[in-house]
């Protein structure tokens, strides 16, 4: 059977990268030290926010590969990927097992198995497959470039999310502090300019990341000023994406 290829339109690619950036948000927000770097099973939005603080071998494998994908897409640097991976695997090593097999459900807060205790061949098989892919990704990272165009594309994705939130606030043009939003748009445009061309040397990359770091810091400061004039719920998303832009800069630096 001949392989078929589909070329995405620019709009489709932009949409899918937006989905990717929003998906990684789940892992960066919920896979943290508080839960031993193990992913929750799900997050409920309605009728009230609830995090399901339980995990399974499938969830763990997906979190590991989400980190690999986040690095491929430019959302995290290599060091951050390695740290997150190591933290997760250290927690996995401490989990109770049955004849060497992971059980299917654990409390992410206490690491205690959940009842009823059982081994799932499906979930264990999923994790085994995920670990094979993780191994190959780590081997490829050894010989791959430390920094690439993907880093700048990752910044672009986060800027899209930031600008979308800015546009939502901008619709309230009667707001007395609208000039702050204009400043934010200008700073965002400067950051977009800084990621248009790809540096050709490690020294040039260092200078570029320093520039992006300065710009993201200015964006965070402006968002702080905006936040002081609006209700917290109105600017929660804007603050989040400004913070993530700055965090990406630190990760790559």
Q: What is the pLDDT of residue 174?
A: 54
In angstroms, what CA-CA distances link 170 with 102, 176, 189, 216?
Answer: 50, 11, 16, 20
Q: Is the pLDDT of residue 10 over 60?
A: yes
Peptide linkage before 116 cis (omega within 30 of 0): yes
Predicted confidence at residue 5, as pLDDT, reads: 86
Task: Tell me which of 24 and 234 has the higher pLDDT.
Answer: 24
Q: Where are the alpha helices (DSSP H) in 31-77?
A: 57-72
User: Which residue is it, tokens 């919920």?
Assistant: 30
pTM of the full structure: 0.91
**Bridge-based pairing state of the strands 54-55 and 106-107:** antiparallel
Angle at the Cα of 16 from the Cα atoms of 13 and 21, rounded to 5 degrees: 120
In angstroms, rounded to a whole number, what is the distance separating the alpha carbons of residues 77 and 195? 16
- Tens of pLDDT, residues 134-149: 999 999 999 999 999 9
77-107 burial: b if 16+ Cβ within 10 Å, else e: beebbeebbebbeebbeebeeeeeebbbbbe
Q: Which residue has the higher pLDDT, 3 or 69?
A: 69
Task: Calculate the alpha carbon distances from 87 to 51, 73, 224 in Å.
Answer: 20, 21, 32
pLDDT of res. 170:
73
């Amino acid at each position: 059977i001949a392989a078929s290829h589909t070329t995405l339109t620019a709009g489709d690619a932009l949409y899918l990268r937006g989905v990717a950036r929003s998906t990684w948000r789940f892992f960066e927000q919920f896979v943290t030290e508080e839960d031993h770097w193990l992913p929750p099973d799900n997050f409920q939005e309605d009728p009230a926010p609830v995090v399901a603080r339980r995990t399974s071998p499938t969830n763990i494998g997906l979190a590991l590969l989400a980190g690999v994908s986040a690095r491929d897409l430019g959302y995290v640097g290599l060091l951050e990927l390695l740290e997150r991976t190591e933290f997760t695997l250290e927690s996995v090593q401490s989990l109770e097992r049955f004849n060497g097999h992971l059980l299917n459900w654990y409390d992410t807060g206490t690491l205690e198995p959940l009842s009823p205790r059982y081994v799932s061949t499906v979930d264990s098989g999923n994790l085994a497959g995920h670990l094979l892919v993780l191994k190959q990704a780590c081997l490829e990272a050894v010989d791959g470039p430390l920094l690439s165009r993907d880093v700048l594309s990752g910044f672009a994705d986060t800027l899209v999310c930031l600008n979308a939130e800015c546009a939502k606030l901008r619709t309230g043009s009667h707001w007395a502090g609208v000039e702050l939003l204009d400043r934010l748009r200008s700073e965002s445009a400067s950051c977009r300019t800084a990621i248009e061309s790809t540096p050709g040397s490690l020294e040039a990359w260092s200078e570029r990341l320093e520039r992006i770091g300065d710009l993201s810091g200015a964006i965070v400061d402006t968002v702080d000023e905006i936040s002081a004039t609006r209700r917290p719920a109105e600017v929660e998303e804007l603050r989040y994406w400004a913070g993530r832009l700055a965090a990406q800069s630190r990760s790559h630096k």
